[in-house]
Structure 1
């Protein structure tokens, strides 16, 4: 259920977000962060579903198709996806309870990032928006397992 909700949230956020021509640095970073989470999710799902599962990779392709990023953002998105994938593949090569917990944590983080893209916080005063994003990031980080 969480993965379905995350997929819907990511697609809804990216579809509405793609309308904007100019992106703020914060918005661009959020897109990169989403790509990273998609990479993590891809590795974690493959650990349990098998190497042929392409569910989250397909979502990444949809994100880049919808977003139509400039070459620099496209490169950074792909690097982020690959980094997230490599990290989680190394940490969780097999399907275990820990990999399922990590997958749920990635889903929560992705939901928060997608909500940020579709939220009105980008229309707030920059100081208000920064404070709100910092609070959201602190909350999201508290939910993530510690990395070695």
Structure 2
């Protein structure tokens, strides 16, 4: 379980180079919003087990926003998405149970997938075209955050 969470954390950290989202496609901007939602979910799930003082995923979110330096509209969407993801999982998993741990693993897998997709778009292998939004959503799987509309 911890290996998936660690991989997710490393993937988010790997996005340390700004995506310059204000200059990117709507698909990239949406993927950043989706990743913010997943970070919010992860924050709530981790706090359910480790307590409200734990700020691990919130700190990662702050780093992502600081790195991206988004325009005001995207900044607002990122923060709203994080908060929506947090509230969703906090309401669903108010205490630490086996189900909380399983949800944490699934959330980490979604986050890792989104981070990997963004990494491919930001740093494509020479000669490879970045994935399209359709490809990104198909790779994310049915029901993932990437296929949901962003909170408004």
TM-score category, normalised to shorter length: 0.7 to 0.9
Aligned residues: CA RMSD: 2.1
Specify the alignment match of 1:75 in structure 2: 76
- Indicate if the aligned counterparts of 1:9 and 1:114 stay in contact, CA closer than 8 A: yes
TM-score by length of structure 2 reads 0.82
Superimposed CA distance per residue, residues 58-106 of structure 1 (whole angstroms, 9 cap, x where no aligned partner): 0000001111111000000000000000000000000000010000000
2:121 and 2:57 map into 1 onto residues whose CA distance is 26
Cα distance per residue 1:102-125 (max 9 Å; x no partner):
000000000000011011497637
2:138 matched residue in structure 1: 135
CA contact (8 A) 1:112 1:140 kept: no
Q: Secondary structure of 2:16's partner?
A: helix
More helix by proportion, 1 or 2?
1
Superposed structure 1 runs of 4+ greater than 4 Å apart:
120-123
Which residue of 2 is the match for residue 144 of structure 1? none
User: Are 1:10 and 2:15 matched, yes or no?
Assistant: no
Q: Deviation of residue 140 (structure 1)?
A: 6.9
